[in-house]
């Protein structure tokens, strides 16, 4: 890995909100950040319902695409250096598997490796309402070092479109990885 160039794993689960994952890939591409994409099988279904893009078009946004069942992929190994992983959006199923150490797919294996290597793991959990089990799972993952970052809109920015809401949310998320985006509107006191 070029020591000056960031490398991030982008996971997309089957939760609603695939626009966040797609836009994240676009931003990373624009910023010349190496992205390794892994999509769950459910994400492919969700993409068909929510966006008017073919999976091949989404894949083209990533530097490298990994098949969800390729457990021998580079991102399945701790010796493959990355700056962390973002699962955007993250389903409760995926979150729960990560919490329990279930590595039945490359998506959850890569997340497990990210945690064990003490790298940043961000889960944009897309579910509401939450029951006590969800909250305990989030607490457990936070104690392990994960960052739980639901896509909560920052309405103080007075967004005029879904795209502005998505960009602001992703700007905040990338901020946690030390990555600046032009679309992030920071709070200014009056």
Question: Does residue 177 fall inside a structural domain?
Answer: no
The pLDDT value recorded for residue 2 is 56
Give me the residues paired with residue 10 across strands.
37, 86
What 3-state DSSP class applies to 5? coil
Q: Rounded mean pLDDT of 56-70?
A: 99
Residue 77 — φ and ψ, nearest 5°? -120, 135
Q: Could you list the beta-strand ranges (E) of the chain.
A: 7-12, 34-39, 64-66, 85-90, 121-125, 147-148
Question: Does residue 171 fall inside a structural domain?
Answer: no
The CA distance from 150 to 128, in Å, is 10
Q: Which residue has the higher pLDDT, 142 or 190?
A: 142
DSSP 92: H
Question: Does residue 119 fall inside a structural domain?
Answer: yes
| CA nearest neighbour of 68 among 98, 107, 13 | 107
Look-up of token digits 């962390």: 84
pLDDT of 56 higher than 80: yes
The CA distance from 40 to 42, in Å, is 5
Question: Does residue 12 fall inside a structural domain?
Answer: yes
Q: Containing domain of residue 17, as a range?
A: 7-152
| CA nearest neighbour of 86 among 125, 42, 143 | 125
Residue 64 sits at the vertex; the CA angle it makes with 58 and 69, to the nearest 5 degrees, is 85
Give yes or no for a contact between 129 and 135, defined as CB atoms under 8 angstroms apart: no
The CA distance from 61 to 22, in Å, is 8
Question: Does residue 18 fall inside a structural domain?
Answer: yes
Question: Does residue 168 fall inside a structural domain?
Answer: no
Give yes or no for a contact between 86 and 51, defined as CB atoms under 8 angstroms apart: no
pTM: 0.95
Residue 130 — φ and ψ, nearest 5°? -110, 140
pLDDT of 4 higher than 90: no
Question: Does residue 143 fall inside a structural domain?
Answer: yes
pLDDT tens digits, one per residue of 72-130:
999 999 999 999 999 999 999 999 999 999 999 999 999 999 999 999 999 999 999 99
- Work out how many domains the chain is built from and give that number: 1
- For residue 146, what is the domain's CATH number? 3.40.50.1950
Question: Does residue 157 fall inside a structural domain?
Answer: no
Q: How confident is residue 1, by pLDDT bands cut at 50, 70 and 90?
A: low
């Amino acid at each position: 890995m070029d020591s000056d160039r960031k490398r991030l794993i982008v996971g997309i689960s089957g939760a609603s909100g695939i626009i966040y994952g797609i836009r994240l890939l676009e931003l990373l591409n624009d910023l010349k950040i190496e992205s390794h994409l892994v999509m769950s099988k459910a994400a492919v279904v969700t993409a068909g319902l929510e966006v008017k893009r073919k999976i091949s078009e989404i894949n083209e946004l990533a530097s490298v695409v990994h098949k969800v069942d390729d457990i021998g992929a580079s991102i399945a190994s701790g010796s493959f250096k990355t700056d962390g992983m973002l699962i955007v959006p993250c389903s409760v199923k995926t979150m729960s598997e990560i919490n329990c150490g279930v590595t039945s797919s490359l998506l959850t294996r890569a997340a497990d490796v990210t945690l064990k290597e003490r790298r940043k793991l961000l889960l944009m959990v897309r579910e509401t309402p939450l029951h006590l089990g969800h909250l305990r799972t989030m607490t457990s993952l936070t104690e392990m070092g994960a960052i739980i970052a639901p896509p909560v809109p920052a309405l103080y920015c007075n967004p005029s479109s879904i795209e502005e809401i998505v960009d602001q949310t992703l700007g905040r998320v990338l901020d946690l990885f030390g990555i600046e985006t032009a679309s992030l509107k920071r709070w200014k006191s009056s």
